[in-house]
Structure 1
């Protein structure tokens, strides 16, 4: 099993697990490798040191090289913000009902007292969101990556 350090075009860093180098290359060429945070398929592999578990090793393992200049490493603050964002999205997913494309209609029903108030999420077009805002119904766009819509291993 190969564990690769990857980064998308938006500098989101993540790991990918592949059966081999060829497996990664094949999946990448077919557009199957995507960022778990933003869904971007513009993913590049970062250099990484091999991980060796040797019980009788006398020398420390080599240090992982720094990413190339065109892919600056995420600062600790950026990593913390990324983790908090993922945590917030998971909280929203766990504590709201997915009403799908009925979002605008269901938000109106709740606003006008035709349905019980509860946390909902779903899809609405920009025009629908603007119409809801004109009616005094607050909505918050929250893009949820496909990877976070399903349980992660």
Structure 2
């Protein structure tokens, strides 16, 4: 199994797992490799160094690193954001274009209380806020709108 460091044309970095380098090239040429953040298929391979666990092979304990002191890198932040978005999608009901209407129905106890997500105009979102109905704009990447394999 080959684990490759990849980058899309929008500079999003991610990993891809392939049976071989040839399989990666084949999938790339058929536009089957897509960025998990923005779904573009213009993807390139990043240089990566092989990982060698030599200390483990000799029975020595690997030195511990101070994880708490190291600031998270962009890839770690991106991974956390994607995980948050996946959880949000799993735990909310998509009401689509009826978002403003359904938010009002829930707020005024005309519909069961539940967490919802959907689409609304900036004007409708502002009107909801004026009615003291909490809303939060949250763009969902297209790659997360469908189930992942």
Q: TM-score, normalised by structure 1?
A: 0.64
In structure 2, the residue matched to 1:136 is 132
Q: Which residue of 1 aligns with 2:65?
A: none
Q: Secondary structure at the match of 1:6?
A: strand
Alignment of 1:14-93 (within 5 A): 14-16=14-16, 19=23, 21=25, 23-27=27-31, 34-37=34-37, 39=38, 41=40, 43-48=42-47, 76-93=72-89
Distance 1:9 1:21, change over 3 A: closer
Q: C-alpha separation between the residues in 1 aligned to 2:77 and 2:116?
A: 24
Kindly report the root-mean-square deviation, in angstroms, between the aligned alpha carbons of the 2 structures.
Answer: 2.9
Deviation of 1:121 (Å): 0.7
Q: For 1:129, what is the secondary structure of its paired residue?
A: helix
Offset of residue 47 of structure 1:
3.7
- Is this contact kept in 1: 2:33–2:43, CA < 8 A? no
Aligned length: 125
- TM-score under structure 2 normalisation? 0.66
Are 1:11 and 2:11 counterparts?
Answer: yes
Unaligned runs of 5+ in 1: 52-74
